[in-house]
């Protein structure tokens, strides 16, 4: 049984049409009979997600047992940042001293190392991790940030089918293997957006902390100005200032100056190593670089795409920060930035989960077009670990943005839809 509304994000409209859809005189036995296929469909989806979650867990354990180098992936770099910053303060921005320290920690790096390009803010989380043994720090990091990610995305519904979907998502496996900060970034972004209406000061604080990855706050002025959330704007600015003061006092008074002074060096380092990173970047800039086009072409395409996404988000935010807008910002934040990695994609998975859960809760089906895009995107992300697929992920992400924004609704209505709504009470 498929229940539709004109606006799947309007529960009041759905409730008003519910008697028309169900029919006042329907016999209970027919309702029970129609619920059986839905129960079977729901059970099949749940079993599939459980199987994918088990696969992710088995793959992760087998990866650990294979003794990868470096141990625990990129997290070994994050861990070393915390250890080194506790000892050397602003010296964290000396790439040669940092690389030398990392090689003493892990001689298997063989002359390489992990530079630290982040603002000093991130060190407030990394220094405590650096005081733990590496395996303990990794488990704490992944478990705490994943829990924050799921709670920010689903709240009290974390034990729902959507929570299982987040666990089964390939973005979860990729971030767990790399030990990167994708869960943390998604938790701060989604959590901040979720709280804008009810707790704007807390929301602003979370969005201010997200500035530890500046490329993901590009759309925040658009969201906050369009929704006229002045308290959240004040809170975000104040949080940034407070954190800057805390890091200067607790770590090194010159640490922010060192970050600013070294920023151009890290940009040059990124450009020098761009070719080795393109295959793991789902961005338009990376796609243009991968096919050998001039940089100005990449900047032009990225600027046009970012502007289009900003316009869509401005229009959505003017109507209010609802589930559709949150999903649009989560996915659009990856599309709008020139620098994002596949381990940053948990925020896209969160956006999809929020969008689909809102449709299911409203009784609206999910179009086959959107489901197909998500399946192909998941396969694409896994392939990008070892293969170059220029523009594929960027194009799929743009299609998702357009679909969530409603631009594909007319086309999507011409395609079959999958109804995964919970079965009616029998």
pLDDT in tens, 202-221: 999 999 999 999 999 999 99
Mean pLDDT of the region 46-67:
90
Q: Which among 154, 238, 157, 152 is positioned nearest to 193, based on CA atoms?
A: 152
* DSSP sequence for 215-254: GGSTTHHHHHHHTT-HHHHHHHHHHHHHHHHHHHHHT-TT
Cβ neighbours around 79 below 10 Å, total: 27
pLDDT bracket for residue 369 (50, 70, 90): confident
pLDDT bracket for residue 388 (50, 70, 90): confident
The residue assigned the tokens 């523009």 is 391
Render the burial of 326-353: b for 16+ CB within 10 Å, e for the rest. bbbbbbbbbbbbbbbbbbbbbbbbbbbb
Of 141-155, 267-281, 316-330, the range with the lowest mean pLDDT is 267-281
The sign of the torsion formed by the CA atoms of 246, 251, 254, 260 equals negative
Cβ neighbours around 389 below 10 Å, total: 16
Cα distance between the two ends of the chain = 13
Which is more confidently placed, 53 or 112?
53
Tokens standing for 26?
Answer: 């329907």
Q: Answer whether 212's CB lies under 8 Å from 244's CB.
A: no
Q: Reduced to 3 states, what is the DSSP secondary structure of residue 367? A: strand
Q: What is the pLDDT of residue 33?
A: 52
Q: Residue 278 gets which letter from DSSP? A: G
- Report the alpha-carbon distance of residue 321 to residue 208 in Å, rounded: 18
Q: Which among 163, 215, 207, 210 is positioned nearest to 184, based on CA atoms?
A: 210
The residue assigned the tokens 């063989």 is 110
Question: In 98-205, where do the E strands start and end?
Answer: none
Of 54-63, 309-318, 417-426, the range with the lowest mean pLDDT is 417-426
- Report the alpha-carbon distance of residue 239 to residue 207 in Å, rounded: 9
């Amino acid at each position: 049984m498929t229940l539709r509304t004109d606006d799947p994000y309007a529960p009041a409209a759905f409730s008003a049409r519910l008697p028309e859809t169900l029919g006042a005189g329907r016999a209970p036995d027919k309702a029970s009979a129609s619920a059986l296929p839905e129960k079977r469909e729901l059970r099949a989806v749940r079993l599939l997600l459980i199987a994918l979650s088990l696969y992710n867990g088995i793959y992760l354990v087998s990866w650990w047992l294979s003794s990868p180098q470096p141990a625990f992936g990129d997290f070994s770099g994050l861990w070393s940042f915390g250890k080194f910053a506790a000892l050397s303060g602003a010296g964290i921005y000396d790439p040669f001293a940092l690389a030398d320290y990392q090689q003493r920690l892990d001689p298997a790096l063989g002359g390489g190392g992990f530079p630290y390009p982040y603002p000093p803010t991130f060190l407030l989380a990394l220094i405590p991790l650096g005081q733990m043994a590496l395996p303990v720090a990794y488990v704490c990091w992944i478990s705490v940030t994943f829990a924050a990610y799921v709670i920010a995305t689903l709240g009290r519904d974390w034990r729902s089918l959507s929570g299982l979907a987040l666990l089964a998502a390939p973005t979860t496996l990729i971030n767990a293997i790399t030990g990167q900060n994708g869960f943390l970034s998604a938790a701060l972004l989604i959590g901040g957006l979720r709280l804008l209406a009810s707790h704007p000061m807390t929301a602003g604080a979370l969005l201010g902390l997200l500035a530890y990855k500046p490329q993901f706050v590009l759309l925040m002025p658009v969201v906050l100005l369009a929704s006229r959330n002045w308290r959240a704007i004040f809170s975000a600015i104040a949080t940034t200032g407070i954190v800057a003061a805390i890091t200067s006092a607790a770590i090194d008074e010159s640490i922010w100056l060192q970050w600013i002074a070294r920023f151009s060096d890290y940009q040059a380092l990124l450009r020098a190593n761009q070719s080795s990173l393109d295959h793991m970047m789902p961005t338009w800039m990376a796609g243009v670089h991968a096919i050998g086009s001039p940089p100005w072409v990449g900047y032009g395409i990225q600027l046009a795409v970012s502007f289009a996404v900003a316009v869509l988000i401005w229009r959505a935010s003017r109507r209010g920060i609802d589930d559709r807008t949150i999903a649009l910002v989560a996915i659009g934040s990856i599309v709008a930035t020139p620098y994002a990695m596949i381990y940053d994609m948990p925020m896209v998975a969160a956006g999809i989960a929020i969008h689909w859960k809102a449709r299911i809760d409203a009784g609206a089906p999910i179009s086959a077009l959107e489901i197909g895009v998500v399946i192909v995107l998941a396969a694409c992300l896994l392939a990008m670990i070892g293969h170059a697929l220029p523009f594929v992920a960027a194009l799929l992400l743009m299609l998702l943005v357009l679909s969530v924004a409603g631009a594909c609704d007319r086309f999507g209505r011409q395609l079959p839809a999958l109804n995964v709504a919970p079965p009616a009470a029998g």
